[in-house]
């Protein structure tokens, strides 16, 4: 049988050996005070894989062109809001009825007539598209409704309309960049329109 002093010495030795391990624990109850750390919190909204998509149908209910106010400087604003530079201009509505377009059929140089109408001669600064509905259709026939991020999309585009002429402008509605999936909201599919003017030849 070991003597009492020997047992006390053994207990003290075990205490000294275990104390550093406990202090270095990284468990939920630990509190780190030495040094510092950098925390990066990231959110992504990536384009979806279009390889298994048959069509991306977008319904437009309005196409409006805005004359440029030559007295002020045009500045791009948030989609759906007025732009500085055309506050005094009278917009011209070319389309007021719904029409649906499959964006995936408008590739490789293919185009579709979006709207047509007479406009006063002069300078123009932008075109506004109004979107009411959007649907994604997979190759197996199943479809998914897209949540529309903005129902009004302003496309800055300057052009001149001379009296007696017949002119055309083309807008590029990028389906791959516009259709996204928000993985933090139960895989909600979003239409975040990316529309840019195509330079004229």
pLDDT in tens, 51-97: 889 999 999 999 899 988 744 333 333 444 444 444 556 898 888 78
Residue 193 CB burial class (10 angstroms; 0-12, 13-18, ≥19)? buried
- Residue 7: is its pLDDT beyond 50? yes
Does a structural domain hold residue 146?
yes
Domain residue limits at 187:
51-197
Does a structural domain hold residue 174?
yes
Does a structural domain hold residue 55?
yes
| 33-42, 95-104, 125-134: range with lowest mean pLDDT | 33-42
How many domains does the chain fold into?
1
Quick check: pTM over 0.85? no
| 12-21, 162-171, 178-187: range with lowest mean pLDDT | 12-21
Q: Dump strand ranges (E) for the chain.
A: 53-67, 92-95, 99-102, 122-138, 143-145, 147-148, 152-161, 171-173, 179-182, 188-191, 195-197
Whole-number mean pLDDT of the chain? 74
At 115-138, the pLDDT tens digits run 888 888 888 999 899 999 999 999
Q: What is the mean pLDDT of residues 91-109?
A: 87
Does a structural domain hold residue 38?
no
């Amino acid at each position: 049988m070991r003597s009492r002093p020997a047992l006390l010495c053994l207990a003290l030795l075990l205490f000294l050996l275990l104390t550093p391990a406990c202090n270095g624990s990284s468990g939920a109850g630990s509190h780190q005070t030495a040094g510092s750390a950098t925390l990066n919190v990231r959110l992504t909204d990536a384009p979806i894989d279009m390889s298994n998509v048959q069509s991306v149908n977008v319904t437009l209910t309005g196409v409006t062109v805005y004359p440029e106010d030559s007295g002020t400087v045009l500045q791009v604003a948030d989609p759906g809001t007025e732009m500085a530079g055309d506050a005094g201009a009278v917009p011209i509505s070319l389309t007021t009825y719904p029409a649906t377009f499959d964006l995936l059929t408008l590739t490789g140089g293919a185009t579709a007539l979006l709207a047509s109408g007479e406009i006063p001669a002069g300078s123009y600064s932008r075109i506004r598209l109004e979107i009411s509905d959007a649907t994604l259709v997979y190759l197996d026939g199943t479809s998914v409704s897209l949540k529309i991020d903005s129902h009004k999309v302003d496309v800055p585009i300057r052009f001149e309309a001379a009296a007696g002429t017949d002119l055309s402008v083309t807008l590029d509605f990028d389906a791959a960049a516009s259709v996204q999936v928000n993985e933090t909201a139960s895989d909600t599919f979003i239409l975040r329109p990316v529309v840019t003017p195509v330079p004229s030849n």
